[in-house]
């Protein structure tokens, strides 16, 4: 049985639904649920009722609502592309009903801008005992970047030592300020302190304070800033030979200027404030006035380049490789009506789900992407829209 229940109907969900719908050999039936059912209905209309069989309203913060929905739909797998806040209630519902689980971002409590795997890794024994599987972080970063690392370790090195994951959006959406995925989650992520792993410990940096300029294939030189990103946590755990792991993301000056102003006036705060007799969270209000990331696709030009630099030893010699993908905003818009950031997240989620349902990536418990054999996943990236390259190169940033 390969019936899936997709929860969430935003930018990423649109890509997951369309990609799954195009592959009936992997996904026999698709059901779609979200907080705002009209968004599910719109997607169903676009894709067709023959593939999206049912649409439902659900508040996935409430585990019991998800339990009832799962009992009604009886899927083999729940694909969670709602928000990180819903990870635990949806995992609880999967446990109660004995259904497999997949997501693209790790759990984050709503009242604290802090994401880490501890909460979800704590489900390991319960999922094992129930005989069900959870695949965590099956987007691009985390997700594909973890698989790139596993692929490098398997095919190119005896031991891996240094990781630099780089995420460049070289695209232009023509807006003064917009985020490419959920604005609330995105701004919480980048306004946190930076953090990297070196010699067995985490080291913190002030938010967006460490900058290097890096030349991205098919994009060019872009200012790249050190951030903490969730795949660093699982990769240093699963590859203990790693001496240093860092994550870099590109931001333009215009984006950073807007962000600084918004921060300075308090608009990125998650502390509720009193406004005309109501409590409102400034960042949630900001999300409401910013462009919806799903709406950026039309007219978006340029490419993303996301990849993993891996340095390690092969036959006693040190070498570095870069594994990366370029994704073109206009092409993804033509294919599925989405910009490349939604696309690069949605396609890996579909591939991870297909591998779970086919039994290729299936073992009870809670797992990160790098814990499975990377080869078939890498093959499917090439087949389903995210072709990748491997080049031998110098260690990044070291010469600057
Ligand atoms: P959007 O904001 O576009 O969509 C989120 C969807 O979740 C909306 O349809 C929203 O409903 C729904 N939702 C929110 N709260 C609930 C709830 N309580 N119950 C049910 N549905 C709910 O976000 P994106 O599509 O941009 O991002 C989706 C996920 O993908 C996020 O978790 C994000 O962190 C992750 N992501 C991962 C990346 C990766 O590479 N790993 C990259 C980019 C994103 P409503 O319409 O009512 O608000």
Chain segment 205-215, per-residue pLDDT in tens: 999 999 999 99
- Per-residue confidence (pLDDT) for residue 114, from 0 to 100: 83
Answer yes or no: is the C-beta of 381 below 6 A from any ligand 1 atom: no
Distance CA 16, CA 39 (A): 14
pLDDT tens digits for 102-134?
999 999 998 887 889 999 999 999 999 999 999
Q: Whose CA is nearest to atom 46 of ligand 1?
A: 36
H runs (alpha helix) in the chain:
11-21, 37-47, 63-73, 87-97, 118-121, 124-130, 144-155, 183-190, 230-238, 253-264, 282-289, 329-336, 340-357, 375-383
Q: Which atom of ligand 1 is nearest to the CA of 83?
A: 32
CATH no., domain 144-337+385-393: 3.30.360.10
172 DSSP assignment? B
For ligand 1, the distance from its centroid to the CA atom of residue 7, given in whole angstroms, is 9
Distance CA 44, CA 239 (A): 42
For ligand 1, the distance from its centroid to the CA atom of residue 181, given in whole angstroms, is 8
CA atoms within 13 A on the CB side of 384: 26
Give strand pairing partners of 204: 195
pLDDT(400) > 60: no
Answer yes or no: is the C-beta of 356 below 6 A from any ligand 1 atom: no
Answer yes or no: is the C-beta of 351 below 6 A from any ligand 1 atom: no
Give strand pairing partners of 273: 280
Answer yes or no: is the C-beta of 234 below 6 A from any ligand 1 atom: no
3-state secondary structure (DSSP) of residue 258: helix
For ligand 1, the distance from its centroid to the CA atom of residue 83, given in whole angstroms, is 4
Q: Whose CA is nearest to atom 29 of ligand 1?
A: 81
Answer yes or no: is the C-beta of 9 below 6 A from any ligand 1 atom: yes
Answer yes or no: is the C-beta of 41 below 6 A from any ligand 1 atom: no
For ligand 1, the distance from its centroid to the CA atom of residue 255, given in whole angstroms, is 22
Q: Which of 33, 44, 31, 40 is nearest to 3 (CA)?
A: 31
Q: Whose CA is nearest to atom 26 of ligand 1?
A: 181
pLDDT range class, residue 396, cuts 50, 70, 90: confident
For ligand 1, the distance from its centroid to the CA atom of residue 240, given in whole angstroms, is 32
Answer yes or no: is the C-beta of 229 below 6 A from any ligand 1 atom: no
Distance CA 342, CA 329 (A): 10
What average pLDDT does this structure show over 297-319? 97
- 330 burial type by CB count under 10 A (0-12 exposed, 13-18 middle, 19+ buried): middle
For ligand 1, the distance from its centroid to the CA atom of residue 74, given in whole angstroms, is 23
For ligand 1, the distance from its centroid to the CA atom of residue 178, given in whole angstroms, is 16
pLDDT tens digits for 369-383?
999 999 999 999 999
pLDDT range class, residue 397, cuts 50, 70, 90: confident
Answer yes or no: is the C-beta of 34 below 6 A from any ligand 1 atom: yes
pLDDT(139) > 60: yes
pLDDT tens digits for 168-214?
999 999 999 999 888 888 898 889 999 999 999 999 999 999 999 99
Angle between helices 144-155 and 340-357 (to 10 degrees): 60
Answer yes or no: is the C-beta of 166 below 6 A from any ligand 1 atom: no
pLDDT(87) > 50: yes
Domain-wise residue ranges, the chain: 3-136, 144-337+385-393
* Strand bridging mode 77-80 / 100-103: parallel
Long-range contacts of 355-359 (CB under 8 A, 24+ apart): 355/380, 356/77, 356/100, 356/102, 356/133, 356/135, 357/2, 357/4, 357/26, 357/27, 357/76, 357/77, 358/26
Answer yes or no: is the C-beta of 14 below 6 A from any ligand 1 atom: no
For all residues of the chain together, what is the average pLDDT? 96
193 DSSP assignment? P
CATH no., domain 3-136: 3.40.50.720
pLDDT(399) > 60: no
- Per-residue confidence (pLDDT) for residue 279, from 0 to 100: 96
Instruction: Name the more confident of 37 and 114.
Output: 37
> How big is the CA angle at 32 (ends 29 and 36), to the nearest 5 degrees?
165
Answer yes or no: is the C-beta of 8 below 6 A from any ligand 1 atom: yes
pLDDT(136) > 90: yes
pTM of this prediction?
0.96
């Amino acid at each position: 049985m390969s019936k899936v229940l997709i929860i969430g109907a935003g930018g990423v969900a649109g890509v997951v639904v369309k990609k799954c719908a195009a592959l009936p050999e992997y996904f026999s039936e698709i059901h779609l649920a979200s907080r705002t059912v009209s968004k599910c209905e719109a997607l169903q209309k676009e894709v067709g009722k023959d593939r999206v069989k049912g649409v439902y309203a659900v508040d996935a913060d409430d585990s019991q609502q998800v339990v009832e929905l799962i009992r009604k739909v009886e899927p083999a797998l729940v694909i969670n592309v709602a928000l990180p806040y819903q990870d635990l209630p949806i995992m609880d519902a999967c446990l109660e009903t004995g259904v497999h689980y997949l997501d693209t971002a790790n759990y984050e409590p709503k009242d604290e801008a802090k994401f880490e795997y501890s909460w979800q890794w704590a489900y390991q024994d319960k999922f094992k005992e129930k005989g069900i599987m959870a695949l965590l972080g099956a987007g691009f970063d985390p997700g594909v970047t973890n698989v790139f690392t596993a692929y490098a370790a398997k095919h190119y090195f005896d031991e891996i030592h240094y990781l630099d994951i780089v995420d460049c959006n070289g695209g232009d959406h023509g807006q003064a300020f917009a985020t490419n995925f959920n604005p609330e989650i995105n701004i919480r992520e980048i306004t946190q302190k930076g953090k990297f792993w070196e010699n067995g410990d985490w080291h913190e940096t002030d938010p967006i304070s460490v900058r290097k300029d890096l030349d991205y294939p098919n994009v060019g030189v872009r200012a790249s800033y050190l951030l903490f990103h969730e795949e660093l946590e699982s990769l240093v755990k699963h590859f203990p030979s790693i001496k240093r792991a860092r994550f870099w993301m590109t931001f333009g000056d215009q984006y950073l200027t807007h962000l600084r102003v918004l921060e300075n006036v308090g608009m990125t705060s998650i502390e509720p404030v009193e406004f005309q007799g109501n409590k409102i969270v400034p960042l949630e209000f900001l999300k409401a006035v910013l462009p919806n990331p799903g709406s950026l696709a039309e007219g978006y030009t340029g490419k993303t380049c996301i990849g993993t630099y891996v340095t390690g030893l092969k036959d006693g010699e040190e070498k570095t490789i870069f594994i990366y993908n370029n994704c073109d905003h206009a092409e993804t818009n033509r294919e599925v009506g989405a910009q490349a950031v939604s696309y690069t997240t949605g396609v890996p989620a579909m591939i991870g789900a297909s591998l779970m349902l086919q039994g290729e990536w299936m073992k009870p418990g809670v797992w990160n992407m790098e814990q499975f054999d990377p080869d078939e996943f890498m093959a499917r990236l090439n087949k389903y829209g995210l072709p990748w390259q491997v080049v031998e190169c110098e260690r990044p940033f070291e010469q600057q």
